[in-house]
Amino acid sequence: MLDIRPIPAFDDNYIWLLRDADSDQATVVDPGDEEPVLTALEAQGRTLGAILVTHHHYDHIGGVEALRAAFPAVRVFGPEDPRIRALTDRVREGDAVECPGLTERLQVLEVPGHTSTHIAYRIGDALFCGDTLFAAGCGRVFDGTCEQLAASLERIAALPAETLCYCAHEYTLSNLGFAKWVEPESAAIAQREQAVSALRARGRPTVPSRLSEELATNPFLRTGVPAVRAAAAARAGRSLTTGAEVFTALRRWKDEQ
Ligand code: ZN
Ligand code: FE
């Protein structure tokens, strides 16, 4: 039985900790900082078998070298990218990643856009999507392109609706603020905002979220919805034809907030 829990880091990052109940080896995703990981492992009496990296940003890899020093046998998986050092295994689209201590393997998806080499990992109904898809939002475009990110989100949108999306930041409440600008009439967004506010008031994470919920409330997965297209076109001041154009207008709009 796979157990997944968040290790909060910095102001709003989540480092995801995966473990099988009967193994003493855990896996972490995107350890931007080593300290909270070491503390969590110690509390659970576990060692570290593997590290999964989604992309090169410091808040996702800052703890990798120190964790390798602490656990010299640890396997470190990540995309082919010279900006990510300290990997033991470079992985690409379609690879099946075998982590010491996990029975099931993880499938690699290339989802560029936030960065040019961003990848995601899938295991069972869980998707570790880094800074590609956020709950009710998506990552900014750094060295990838809007077209890439739009296509990557389309791929994610086509996964089974019960997929649980484990993103790397707690941005949900502010993302819903933007979603409301795009679709002010949406009852689904209003409801989600209430539920998310209640969780945050109790200091609880709002991640993971179901893909079905994202499809209903996340503007960046709703570029084909007439109300979203109309809002994006009004903001851009011109008519928008393709989903990628709508996406680009939405991303720019949110960047200006
Ligand atoms: Zn990032
Ligand atoms: Fe990040």
Residue 56 annotated to the active site: no
pLDDT digits (tens, 9 = 90+) for 1-42: 899 999 999 999 999 999 999 999 999 999 999 999 999 999
What pLDDT is attached to residue 56?
Answer: 98
pLDDT surpassing 90 at residue 69:
yes
Distance 170 CA to ligand 2 centre (A): 10
Q: Could you write out the DSSP letters of every residue in 113-175?
A: SSSTT-EEEEETTEEEEETSEETTEE---SSS-HHHHHHHHHHHHTS-TT-EEEESB--HHHH
Residue 118 annotated to the active site: no
Distance 57 CA to ligand 2 centre (A): 6
Starting from the CA of residue 83, give the closest ligand: 1
List for the chain the helix, strand, coil content (%; round to 5).
35, 25, 40
Residue 59 annotated to the active site: yes
Residue 131 annotated to the active site: yes
User: Which residue is catalytic, options 33, 57, 95, 118?
Assistant: 57
| pLDDT-based confidence at residue 257 (cuts at 50, 70, 90) | confident
Distance 23 CA to ligand 1 centre (A): 30
Residue 255 annotated to the active site: no
Starting from the CA of residue 118, give the closest ligand: 1
CA 126 – CA 109 distance, rounded (Å): 13
pLDDT surpassing 90 at residue 206:
yes
CA 148 – CA 176 distance, rounded (Å): 23
What pLDDT is attached to residue 29?
Answer: 99
pLDDT digits (tens, 9 = 90+) for 118-165: 999 999 999 999 999 999 999 999 999 999 999 999 999 999 999 999
CA 179 – CA 250 distance, rounded (Å): 10
User: Which residue is catalytic, options 59, 89, 125, 143?
Assistant: 59
Q: How many CB atoms lie within 10 A of CB 35?
A: 12
- The average pLDDT across 158-173 equals 98
Using alpha carbons only, give the angle 201, 207, 212 rounded to the nearest 5 degrees. 115
pLDDT digits (tens, 9 = 90+) for 78-133: 999 999 999 999 999 999 999 999 999 999 999 999 999 999 999 999 999 999 99
What pLDDT is attached to residue 25?
Answer: 98
Q: How many CB atoms lie within 10 A of CB 217?
A: 26
pLDDT surpassing 90 at residue 246:
yes
